[in-house]
Amino acid sequence: MTLTIAVDHESTTAPYEQLRAQISERARSGRLPVGYKLPTVRGLAEQLGLAANTVAKAYKALEADGVIETRGRHGTFVAAAGDAASRRAATAAAQFAEEARRLGLSREAAEAALNEALRAAYDS
């Protein structure tokens, strides 16, 4: 299996964000299986014509999201991201619910705010 990433240098989306989004989507969909070894930062940077810092920034964001894990000198691998993503989403949802309650919003108002945020994030 080969990792194929396309970076649109004309896009208004930053290259590191394009890289992060593509790897994340492929890992979460299973097209990049758990345990798949990713190219080195330097190697992927050369392959894509990007600065190594750009790839490193994407890898760091992916690691913070629980999508990938670095195993020291052994490399960077796709992690079992589903569980980590679900836990982070549940934590964020609980924080939102508590904040909405603290602000005195009704359940209906909180749900409306959440639905609007989801619509903005997913329908854009």
Q: What does the pLDDT look like over 6-37, one tens digit per residue?
A: 999 999 999 999 999 999 999 888 888 889 99
Three-state SS for the chain is: CCCCCCCCCCCCCCHHHHHHHHHHHHHHHCCCCCCCEECCHHHHHHHHCCCHHHHHHHHHHHHHCCCEEECHHHCEEECCHHHHHHHHHHHHHHHHHHHHHHCCCCHHHHHHHHHHHHHHHHCC
Q: What is the mean pLDDT of residues 103-122?
A: 95
Q: What is the mean pLDDT of residues 98-103?
A: 95
Indicate the domain borders of the chain. Answer: 15-78, 83-123
**Whether pTM exceeds 0.85:** no
CATH 3.40.50.1580 fits 15-78, yes or no: no
